[in-house]
């Protein structure tokens, strides 16, 4: 009898993104606006997880690798190295390199979201109720037929957060 091989379990993949009403996510290599409530939300979602990001997003981090998470940076540059970073040279290698339990979280930017959206099971969106016509980085279109809303929480702008925003969790329909 041939011994049964256990199939490796497919890791669940999530994407975390702050996306404006016009699909914008960034401009000039930076985020669209400073929204402290979203930074806090991002930290809560990603702490303890393996996070996957494009090299440009890594370059935009003010203090390098984000603490308390496995930082996996995707680049085609064979010489790229940075403290606290796991380097991967394609998307498959990036997802396979994740060592921490739970969802592997893709945290941007536009190229990485576009390259991984097909594999994403859960989308953690911060919908910014604003538009940014001068943005140069966008999230790929989300087909509403493929997703169901698992959670939704609206917050009005306040003295620290310049626009209204909604935290939305979308799960891919079976």
Q: Is 31 in the site for ligand NAP (CB under 6 A)?
A: yes
Q: Please report the DSSP string for 82-137 in residue order.
A: -TTEEEESSHHHHHHT--SSS-EEE---HHHHHHHGGG-SEEEEEEESS--TT--E
Q: Is 167 in the site for ligand NAP (CB under 6 A)?
A: no
Q: Is 108 in the site for ligand NAP (CB under 6 A)?
A: yes
CA-CA distance, 74 to 80, in Å (whole number)? Answer: 9
Minimum CB distance to ligand NAP, residue 52 (Å)? 10
Minimum CB distance to ligand NAP, residue 55 (Å)? 3
Q: Look up residue 44 and give its two tokens.
A: 């809560």
Whether 171 and 122 have beta carbons less than 8 Å apart is answered as yes
Q: Is 35 in the site for ligand NAP (CB under 6 A)?
A: no
Contact pattern for ligand NAP over residues 77 through 106, marking x by CB under 6 A: x-----------xxx---------------
Comparing CB distances to ligand NAP, the nearer of 11 and 56 is: 56
Q: Is 67 in the site for ligand NAP (CB under 6 A)?
A: no
**Exactly one of 30, 39, 149, 150 binds ligand NAP (CB under 6 A); which one?**
30
Interior/surface letters 56-76, b for 16+ CB within 10 angstroms, e for the rest: bbbebeeeebbeebbbbbbbe
Within 121-160, the residues that bind ligand NAP by CB under 6 A are 137
The DSSP element (H or E) to which 88 belongs, if any, is: strand 85-88
Give the binding site for ligand NAP (CB under 6 A). 17-18, 25-26, 29-31, 53-57, 60, 74-77, 89-91, 107-112, 115, 137
């Amino acid at each position: 009898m041939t011994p049964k091989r256990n199939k490796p379990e497919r890791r669940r993949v999530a994407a975390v993104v702050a996306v404006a009403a016009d699909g914008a996510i960034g401009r000039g290599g930076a985020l669209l606006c400073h929204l402290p409530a979203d930074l806090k939300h991002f930290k809560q979602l990603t702490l303890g997880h393996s996070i996957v990001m494009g090299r440009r997003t890594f370059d935009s981090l003010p203090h390098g690798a984000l603490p308390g998470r496995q930082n996996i940076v995707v680049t085609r540059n064979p010489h790229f190295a940075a403290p606290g970073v796991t380097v991967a040279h394609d998307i498959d290698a990036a997802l396979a390199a994740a060592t921490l339990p739970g969802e592997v979280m893709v945290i941007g930017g536009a190229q990485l979201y576009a390259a991984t959206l097909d594999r994403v099971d859960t989308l953690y969106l911060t919908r910014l109720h604003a538009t940014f016509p001068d943005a140069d980085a966008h999230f790929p279109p989300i087909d509403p037929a493929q997703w169901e809303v698992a959670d939704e929480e609206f917050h009005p702008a306040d003295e620290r957060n310049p626009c209204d925003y909604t935290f939305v969790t979308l799960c891919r329909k079976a």
